[in-house]
Structure 1
Amino acid sequence: MSAPQHHVVVIGAGFSGIGAAIALDRAGLHDYVILEAGAEPGGTWYWNTYPGIAVDIPSFSYQFSFEQSADWSRTYAKGRELKGYADRCVAKYGLRDRIRFDTQVTAARFDDDTSTWRIELATGESLTARFVINASGVLTVPKPPDIKGVEDFAGVTMHTARWDHDQDLTGKRVAIVGTGASAVQVIPEIAPNVEHLTVFQRTPIWCLPKFDVPLPTVARWAMRIPGGRTVHRLLSQAYVELTFPISAHYYTTLPLADRAEKLGRAFLKREVHDPAVRDKLTPRYAVGCKRPGFHNTYLSTYNRDNVELVTEPIDRVTASGVVTSDGAAHDVDVLILATGFKVMDVDAVTFDVTGSGGLALADFWESNRMQAYEGVSVPGFPNFFSVMGPYGYVGSSYFALIEAQTHHIVRCLTQAGDRAASRVEVSTEANDRYFAEMMRKRGRQIFWQDSCSLANSYYFDRNGDVPLRPGTTFEVYLRSRRFPLRDYEFSA
């Protein structure tokens, strides 16, 4: 039996893939390759370059704990800075030679006879690996809108995740479909330049003020003294933990989201002058049911004479524009789709995954609901690990998730090496136990309040579950280091 070409294949060169590669190298597991569909590293921050793009978690938390930058220009970094941070990590840790760019994975299939994965590429090529780490993320592949006639539009169409910088919007009639997190950032940027901007809103978003300021000299100086970056990070992490993991997952005990709603309503009243427009922008669900927006000028943009908010449902797109259900036709030159990504869907994994016995991962989730042990492993899919699987992410910084999950994965791979095991698979009993724990704890989350049924939130999957982990970042950190390895079956 021939050996696989690689010990580990990492799929994706965003921050998840970068973090996984660094963790592998630190563990002495150097036989790996990273497969990346894009031409450069960065993942989300490579693909998404729309005007105004920035992180909505403070820069001090949105970075690896072991690679803290002293060069952030703002409290919330812009997209280009995050792309630069990815490039620096790749260069510093010597990863570029291990990345195959412009390499799109279309399928991964497990061979029970050899306990290896065959990775199929869009070029028709395939390669083999003992283990696969899915680090492909969820904010890179656009979700197409379910709107009749989009392909018939004769003007320019682009998704926020595939922004065409050759298009000059100056003096154009522009329509944007969606008011999620991307739209909240795009709309204030383009509104001053276009002739007319029509915003089609299905569900309003809670938008809260954002303490987004250039870092003063003293703060930048403090990041360069011993312990300075640690202090910044600890304060930032405490803020992040309070604003989502604690407020969302412990709502019945600490209803902090109620205070956030009061803040949101006050912000709306202050920013939006027209009471009718303000009412349209006011969500009917609690803060936290849906990912909120953080922006200081999004709401006030609707005070502009050239910005129109349309809440009538879209009936269809024609060659010249958008027609709503009331029959009104909105003629536009450019159609921008801010329709997000597949996040909590059974097909959110961007390639087909077929495990032991020919079982498709999407079919497993369709039949059994989305689930994964500690958010990493699924029974029936040996030697396959995910950085962002169901019930792994608590809602804080993605970097906290990446570091915890890659530690979990490396523990399994190291144990496999120690036992000379060629097959590592989480037991059904361990997975069932973990899933039952997630179901038991979710009642305290804000998502199960009555008003959340009105949120139209991507947090909810097609089964009505919210595959976010009901816990804190610190809990995830500890469990990644303490989960019992006996929950996995190691075999030759």
Structure 2
Amino acid sequence: MTETIHDAVIVGAGFGGIGAAIQLRRLGHDDLVVLERESDLGGTWHVNRYPGLAVDIPSSTYSYSFEPNPYWSRLYAPGAELKAYATHVAEKYDVRRHMRFDTVVDGAVWDDGKHWTVNIAGGERLHARLLLTATGFLSQPAFPAIEGIDTFAGTVIHTTRWDDSIDLDGRRAAVIGTGATAVQLIPEIAPRLAELTVYQRTAIWVTPKGDRAIPQGVQKLYARVPLAQRAVRTIGSGILELIMVAGVLKYRRAKLLNRSVEKLALRHLARQVKDPETRRKLTPDYTFGCKRPTFSNTYFPTFNRANVHLETTPIARIEPDGIVTEDGTKTEIDTLVLATGFNLWDTNFPAFEVIGRGGKDLGKFWREQQFQAYEGVAVPGFPNFVSLNSPYSYSGLSYFTTIESQMKHLKRLLREVDRRGAATFEITERANAEFLDRMTDRLEDSVFVNGSCATSRSYYFNQHGMATLLRPTSTINAFREAGSFPLDDYSYA
């Protein structure tokens, strides 16, 4: 029996996987299989359903440029609208029919027969000429390693598995974590709780959020005149670019810009929190940009409530009925909310075992030889492989900037493969090394090298202490290189 060899297997049905499937279909590759471990598409916007969930950058910039949505209800759209947008795009561009849900990938191996074998939990195997991983950066939940956490007798909720059936009214709850998720969640649940204790390990930089409802008249204008929404997107993208590229990636040359944003955030904190000691605890002790900042008008005022308590003493252990801090103080609770985010560097990169040519293990290679990927998509020793969530791939603050630059790279690469009549492509060691050297050199200007980041506990840094997640260039540079990288940087056969 002849085994079917598909054009491509894409792992992940979030926005990255949807974009990859759209681009492959545009290039004439229609025999696609998109594998998704969750029950539906949408990635993080399907998994996360906690109260207050919303995009944390303006909605106008958080969408595919070729498929603008004129009907966002707010400047910062709620999570349900992002999920609906993902469904709309997948159906409009006819990629949903390629998707298989509730399908867990155990690993993938490059076969000497010049194709990939993808192993699925349960024993099934798929074969494909191309393998694309679109498992996202925020796909593996992080659980805190706190003594006694398994003994807690009350209700435990992780924000990535929110349970709407749980009635929070009148409960005594604790939230562990004060990252971007907690900033959205805490103001929503605090009024419903009898008592809320927030356990903060690291304060977060929070700036004002210019959020408001988008009037229906404006939505109709965007629908009739797409150029109007495109102009808003351009302005929003420019502001984000200024913050990220100038204030963070070019920190050494733009310290004044970075410090001006810090002052804005500190004024925001001073205006919104009454108690001086609480303000002190909520003030970050690291440079703006070391850790992903966020926007909110409601997070800080929550700590003015009589039923909300901020605890910064480290947790010693969790007992069946409460949390004990290192100073011996015990807070009795009946509900534990884990807003502890995602594990990028231990259980991701890659999210499953990938074995390339000659038995090369991608996870071991990255950890032993430094995290690296040419233009954020390709790794030497892994033919016909495109990693869409890679070191040095994240460009700008909107994930869609990354997605679309990678779609552009994929288009240029696969057209050259077809022109040559080749069966395989692989990035050369030389090109990969040159790109890595260039990215490493450019990081020397960044806040990660020149700022005070030691206490930030930022997921930007891997376990080696290197900030290899973000591409340290402008988004303009990322797009330009995606459409003009030297074709001979790859070898073809």
Q: Which amino acid aligns with 1:321?
A: G
2:71 alignment partner in structure 1: 71
Are the equivalent residues in 2 in contact too, given 1:156–1:335 (CA < 8 A)? yes
Residue pairs, 1:428-443, within 5 angstroms: 428-443=429-444
Match in the other structure for 1:458: 459
Q: Which amino acid is the alignment partner of residue 320 of structure 2?
A: A
Equivalent residue for 1:299?
A: 300
User: Cα offset for 1:382?
Assistant: 1.3
| 3-state DSSP of counterpart to 2:60 | coil
Runs of at least 5 residues in structure 1 that lack an aligned partner in the other structure = none
Task: Tell me by how many angstroms 1:345 deviates.
Answer: 4.5
Matches within 5 A, 1:229-308: 229-255=229-255, 256-308=257-309
Secondary structure of 2:453 counterpart: helix
CA contact (8 A) 1:191 1:307 kept: yes
Change (3 A) 1:234 1:216: same
Tell me the CA shift for residue 173 of structure 1: 0.7
Structure 1 segment 154-165 matched on structure 2, within 5 A: 154-165=153-164
Which secondary structure state, in structure 2, belongs to the residue aligned with residue 454 of structure 1? coil
Asked if structure 2 preserves the Cα contact closer than 8 Å seen for 1:342 and 1:348, the reply is no
**Structure 2 equivalent of residue 332 of structure 1:** 333
Q: 5 Å matches for 1:220-235?
A: 220-226=219-225, 227-235=227-235
- Helix, strand or coil: the match of 1:128? strand
Give 1:83 deviation, angstroms: 0.4
* CA shift for structure 1 position 341: 0.8
Partner of 1:196: 195
Quote the offset at 1:2 in angstroms: 5.6
Distance 1:428 1:289 in 2: 31
Cα deviation per residue 1:392-451 (whole Å; 9 max; x = unaligned)? Answer: 112321111101112212322232233232221101110000000011111111111341
- d(CA) in 2 for partners of 1:349 and 1:173? 38
Task: Say if 1:108 and 1:118, in contact at 8 Å, map to a contact too.
Answer: yes
Deviations 1:22-42 (A, max 9, x none): 111111111211111111110
Task: Note if contact 1:346-1:365 (Cα within 8 Å) is conserved in structure 2.
Answer: no
Q: Tell me, what secondary structure is at the counterpart of 1:303?
A: coil
Q: List runs of 5+ in structure 2 lacking aligned partners.
A: none
Tell me, what secondary structure is at the counterpart of 1:224? helix
Which secondary structure does the structure 1 equivalent of 2:458 belong to?
coil
CA drift at 1:275: 0.4
1:215 corresponds to? 214
Say whether residues 1:388 and 2:389 are aligned partners: yes
Report the CA distance between 1:229 and its aligned residue: 1.8
Aligned match of 2:490: 488
- Between 1:344-353 and 1:19-28, the stretch displaced more is 344-353
2:45 corresponds to = 45
Give the aligned residue type for 2:80: R
CA RMSD in angstroms comes to 1.5
CA–CA separation in structure 1 for the residues paired with 2:375 and 2:354 = 19
| CA deviation vs aligned residue, 1:4-48 (integer Å, no higher than 9, x gap) | 521100111100011111111111111211111111110010001
Contact 1:49 1:79 in 2 (8 A): yes
Q: Cα offset for 1:158? A: 1.5
**Distance (whole Å) between structure 1 residues aligned to residue 213 and residue 292 of structure 2:** 25
- Structure 2 residue aligned with 1:469: 471
1:374-413 maps to which residues of 2 (within 5 A)? 374-413=375-414
Cα distance in 2, alignment partners of residues 104 and 163 from structure 1: 21
Q: In the aligned structure 2, how far is the partner of 1:431 from the partner of 1:99? A: 32
SS at match of 2:433: helix
Kindly indicate whether the alpha-carbon contact (under 8 Å) linking 1:346 and 1:366 is maintained by their aligned counterparts in 2: no
SS in structure 1 at match of 2:183: helix
SS at match of 1:453: coil
SS at match of 1:475: helix
Q: Is the 8 A contact 1:346 1:362 kept in 2?
A: no
- How far residue 86 of structure 1 moved from its aligned partner, in angstroms, is 0.5
Q: Distance in 1 between matches of 2:374 and 2:98?
A: 29
Q: State the Cα distance separating 1:217 from its structure 2 match.
A: 4.2
Greater CA drift, 349-358 or 430-439: 349-358
C-alpha spacing 1:2/1:436, structure 2 compared with 1 (3 Å): farther
Give the superposition deviation at 1:218.
Answer: 4.5
| 1:146 Cα deviation after fit | 1.9
Q: 1:296 Cα deviation (Å)?
A: 0.5
Rounded to whole Å, the distance in 1 between the matches of 2:250 and 2:36 is 37
Q: Structure 1 segments of 4 or more deviating over 6 A?
A: none
Cα separation, partners in 2 of 1:454 and 1:355, compared to 1, 3 Å: same
Q: Is the 8 A contact 2:140 2:347 kept in 1?
A: no
Query: By how many angstroms is 1:74 displaced?
Result: 0.6
